[in-house]
């Protein structure tokens, strides 16, 4: 009995919450209000990257993001599909302006619960850029986004398609930029307990989930 109790002490629970699949009733709601739409690429398509490189910030610190690359065939498919997806997210599918847009970079974060991809879209004429996110469709995240859209003065733009969730970028203070000065005095184990804060640049001022 004491041996079993000793073993239980060493078992540490996972700090990541499980993914809850979107059920039939929630899916019907999303379809009714135009959130569930057909998308040209899926989260699973993005998972077919060949390798990744850690992404550092301007000071050389780890951002918890990795820039991913694909073989040429996958890249050509994703490049067109992700520009189209950006148009669907921003202009309800108006593709008339997409000829001057391109995908500058795709970043992946294994830290977040939904393991998001961050898509960097660039305007080829003036080098202006924007981001959006592709994640696993977690029902708890979807509920949170929809409630924020309904109850806050801000318009929250997101779309789903089967097991894929697409979110617009919301400007704000990156999670780690806010977190760093508040956890500098903590031990590594204590810091682990605060690790549900968004990685730097992950999702504006909101946590990546």
- Mean pLDDT split into 10-residue runs, the chain, 209 residues: 43 67 96 95 97 92 93 95 94 79 95 89 91 95 94 91 93 54 51 39 43
- Tell me, what's the pLDDT at 206? 44
DSSP string, the chain: -HHHHHHHHTPPPPSSPPPPPP-HHHHHHHHHTT-B---SS-HHHHT--SEEEEEE-TTS-EEEEEEEE--HHHHHHHHHHHHHHHHHHHHTT--TTGGGEEEEEEEE-SSSTT--EEEEEEETTT--EEEEEEEE--HHHHHHHHHHHHHSSSPP-EEEETTEEEEE---S--HHHHHHHHHTTS-HHHHHTTTTSPPTTSBTBS---
Q: Where are the domains of the chain?
A: 34-192
- Tell me, what's the pLDDT at 99? 85
- Tell me, what's the pLDDT at 192? 46
């Amino acid at each position: 009995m004491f041996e079993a109790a000793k073993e239980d002490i060493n078992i540490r629970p996972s700090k990541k919450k499980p993914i809850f699949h979107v059920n039939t009733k929630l899916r019907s709601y999303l379809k009714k209000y135009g959130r569930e739409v057909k998308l040209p690429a899926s989260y699973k398509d993005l998972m077919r990257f060949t390798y990744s490189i850690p992404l550092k910030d301007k000071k050389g610190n780890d951002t918890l993001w990795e820039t991913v690359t694909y073989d040429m065939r996958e890249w050509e498919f994703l490049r067109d599909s992700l520009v189209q997806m950006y148009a669907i997210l921003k202009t309800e599918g108006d593709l008339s302006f997409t000829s001057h847009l391109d995908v500058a970079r795709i970043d992946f974060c294994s830290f977040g619960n939904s393991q998001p991809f961050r898509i960097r879209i660039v305007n080829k004429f003036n080098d202006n850029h924007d981001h959006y996110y592709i994640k696993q469709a977690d029902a708890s995240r979807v509920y949170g986004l929809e409630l924020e859209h309904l109850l806050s003065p801000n318009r929250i733009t997101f779309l789903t398609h089967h097991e894929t969730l697409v979110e617009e970028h919301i400007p704000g203070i990156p999670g780690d930029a806010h977190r760093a000065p508040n956890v500098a005095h903590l031990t590594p184990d204590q810091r682990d307990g605060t690790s549900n804060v968004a990685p730097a640049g992950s999702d504006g001022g909101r946590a990546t989930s």
